[in-house]
Chains A and B, each alone.
Chain A
Amino acid sequence: MATVAAPGTSAVDTGAGRRPRGWRGLPVVRQLRQSVGLQRGMLVAGLVLTGIFLLTALLAPLLAPYEYNQLRDPSGPFGAQQPPSAEHWLGTTVGGYDVLSRVIWGSRTALFVIVAAVLMSIVLGVLLGLVSGYFGGWLDRVLVVVADAIYAFPSLLLAIVVGIVLNGGESSLLGGIMAAAISITVVFVPQYLRVVRAETVRIKAEAYVESARVIGAGHWRIMSRHVFRNATRTLPLILTLNASEAILTLAGLGFLGFGIEPTAAAEWGYDLQKSLSDVTSGIWWTSVFPGLAIVLVVLGLTLVGESLNDLADPRLRTRRRGGAAPADVAETSVVPAAAAVPTLLDPAREPGL
């Protein structure tokens, strides 16, 4: 009873039907097309926020009115803690930087950290997860124990240690980004490892992997061709959640003073820390805008992640409800009505069955 009887399990396989090919089959595009209602709203909101973030980061040199480390223009210094005005739409900071420019350039730093952290943790985590799940044994046990140990470690503390080791507290652009990225990588590798390992263990028992073994395929071929591609289904989801956490760690580092120097790059966490004293004296613009940037980017990425999660699960996915008119009966039957169902010795056969 493939299509209808057991909505919990088998409908998952058949319900998705034919997967559209081409651009419509791309991960996020496909989910966007199949979503409805509130879930679609969430996904669209998340995508819009993420899109704005990406565009800002990529077009920062065009969008930002000043450089991130610019303190003066031809007409003289900006001045510190200036309220929003025509020259400085969002005012200036206590250090005399233009807030708008710092916020825009800050998105670039955030994007660098995300890309570096995600790339490193995905490559490492997936590789270790595949090996760990596929071969099992003592290697698997050691990796899982190490992963558990890392889980118990606070990521921010780790980031601080890495930051000090990398550049002795004096943060350049690359040093600051790598400190955040590496600490995030260390924290996220276990997550990728666990997810990919669990999928690998499941897929290892699937009949198609056994059939590859029966054929005589080597371990490497089975891992790369049969296990790997099937084990990566849930990765887009962790990736988005991973990315938002990367931003929070970077901001946390900056806030604690282990971030990137203002002369090396713009960084939201650093700006927030410097604006701490402004809050009490009624200077709101120095803290609100970098803070808002962090909140919106994290919100956008989380919304995308959460809605992808819901849409990936057929039980959480909402669908358009049927109208009043009955639809056609599904082509669930495997024997066409007209086709003969011959007895075993009947010579007439249908090739298509």
Chain B
Amino acid sequence: MTTTPARHVVGIEDLTVSFATDAGDVAAVTGVTLSVAAGEVLAIVGESGSGKTVTARSILGLLPETATTRGAVLLTSKDGGSTSDVVSLSSRQLGDIRGVDAAMVFQEPSTALNPVYPVGWQIAEGLRAHGKYTRAEARAKVIDVMRRVGIPDPEIRVDHYPHQFSGGQKQRIVIAQALVLDPGVIIADEPTTALDVTVQAEILELLRRCRDEFGTAIVLITHNMGVVADLADRVAVMYHGRIVEQADVASLFAAPQDPYTQKLLASVPRLGEGSARAVERASRRQAGWADSEPVVEARDLRIVYPGRLRKPDFVAVDGVSLAIRPGEVLGLVGESGSGKTTIGRAIAGLTKVTGGSLQVLGTEMNGVREKAFRPVRERIGFVFQDPASSFNPLLTIAEAVAEPLVVHKRAGDARGARSRVDELLEAVQLPKAFGDRFPHELSGGQRQRASLARALALQPELLIADEPTSALDVSVQARVLELFDELQREFGFAALFISHDLAVVDLLADRIAVLYRGSLVEEGTGAEVLGNPQHPYTQRLLASLPVPDPAEQARRRAAWEQLNG
């Protein structure tokens, strides 16, 4: 114990956690030592499976039954009065310190709240568990904490149910739940990952206020380096169950020491990187290209999901007009619910068009029949968001990649298509032998490459990529994006690239279209949209995007605060 209890709220020493699995014991964390000072934000970053969540959860003793923990996790109360080793506590003693000394904020606010109780009742749950409050006292305390986390009209809202709040407000309530007992440290596990960029900025602002006003230390688990640059005081980089580097945020971003940290930072996409390449590509196009027949042309496109049981219809896409010309990459950006995926699905014939006109490779999609569209399908490739679920788990990669060839009678069966499949796997830089593996034997990045191979099997003129990298780690994302760019140059297909991440879209797209609540609010080249955004939403979107550079981010944050008044 090298730390003084008064200065540190959490001290983890030589923590090792292993899990009993079907394949024997697996260690998730080995020999982790770190500490969190009072009122400090410590960010733990690392890719999936690096052990960052396990480390953070061990502070609360929130590990599943299959876990075996060794080492010490010393948790000190906020006033420094008592210190306890979480590892050795009984479940009853753990109940006593949870919420009081340390609390947790979960990733998905919509599942962290119980839908059948009012939010006020749920916030007061912590109070009831740790002390005697009369109903009026508890209510007053709940209203107070709700006001402090920025819920308007807390006196009324306290009796509302979770579904009556937006995603960002729900996350505020989850944070209020964590704050109500005024704990010394809050564990925030990817608190903004499920939120839109504009909402993320507000939640980060709130977390910053938690630290400044409540004096709460925060352990922030995230994979988003922009969030780290925005909020953290100190950063611990985890890799493979170990901490490879610990430093304060400025020096980590300025001079990363460990090679892994350097690579991690290098693979984070940054705004403005792609504009130069888009210009270069535009200059290579032949004259008259702009007048050529577009591959996709939407005019006043309207897509409505019919409402059920007296609920009004939901208009997902409203009056969108856009065009993709041959060989062009259009980036479609917007927050969740903006209709970007719906447009992609409509182009692929997965969602019915309700109004307006959508021409895909010369076929009108409004009122199209499946039979008439089937021949067009072989000219369209589709890459799905989640590489884990877009492969039939019972088919080998080679069989899956051969599917389009077999369906369109280019090959008799999967074996007959094998030589072509091998070529395709090679094109996406997967070894041929991977064809014989099953999807679960590949990593996320490898699967997404195979997904690209499948989409390109018939040499489509149009490729629709629906958030192809959002389920991947940053370092893997960089490679998949690079591959996409390379393949696009080689095969020359037109592409609709859908993403919520402006920086990712900027890397690849010739033009960027910004969707907001089903309408197209801005469209132009990367330089135009990012350099000089016209629509207020685009401006807000750009300002909310945290950049992986603490100094630059501090400046942007000031600008963002100004924009929000």
Contacts and interface: CB of A to CB of B under 8 A. Distances in A.
Main SS class of interface, A:
loop
Nearest to B385: A207
A76 interface: no
Interface string A274-297: 000000000000000000000000
Interface residues of B, number: 85
Contact of B482 (A4, A320, A342): A342
Interface in B379-401: 380, 382, 384-386, 388-395, 400
Interface string B467-480: 00000010110110
A208 interface: yes
Interface in B35-92: 47-54, 57, 64, 66-68, 70
Interface string B447-480: 0000000100000000000000000010110110
Given A211-B454, A230-B393, A1 B25 contact: no
B18 A207 contact: no
A62 interface: no
Contacts of B18: 322, 326-327
B33 to A, nearest CB: 15
A346 B239 CA distance: 22
Nearest to B438: A19
A341 B407 contact: no
A319 B445 contact: no
Interface stretch (B118-126, B128-136, B258-266, B525-533): B258-266
A34 interface: yes
A208 B404 contact: no
A353 B446 contact: yes
A349 interface: yes
Nearest to A335: B475
Contacts of A15: 21-22
A215 to B, nearest CB: 4
A319 to B, nearest CB: 4
A325 B273 CA distance: 48
A216 B378 contact: yes
A341 B49 contact: no
Interface string A1-21: 111110100010111111100
A216 B28 contact: no
Contact of A226 (B264, B392, B429): B392
Given A7-B64, A206-B389, A217-B403, A327 B24 contact: yes
Contacts of A16: 22
Contacts of A26: none
B563 interface: no
Interface string B220-245: 00000000000000000001111000
Contacts of B384: 207, 210-211
B88 to A, nearest CB: 16
Given A216-B408, A334-B49, A343-B267, A353 B445 contact: yes
Contacts of B158: none
Given A16-B22, A353-B476, 9 more contacts: A2-B48, A4-B54, A7-B64, A17-B22, A207-B390, A215-B377, A320-B20, A334-B473, A343-B267
20 contacts: A2-B49, A5-B53, A11-B21, A16-B22, A19-B440, A34-B22, A207-B384, A207-B389, A213-B350, A215-B407, A320-B20, A320-B24, A326-B27, A327-B24, A329-B51, A332-B48, A335-B475, A344-B267, A351-B431, A353-B476
Interface of B: 16-28, 30, 47-54, 57, 64, 66-68, 70, 189, 239-242, 260, 263-264, 266-267, 269, 273, 348-350, 374-375, 377-378, 380, 382, 384-386, 388-395, 400, 403-404, 407-408, 429-431, 438, 440-441, 443-446, 454, 473, 475-476, 478-479, 481-482, 485, 507
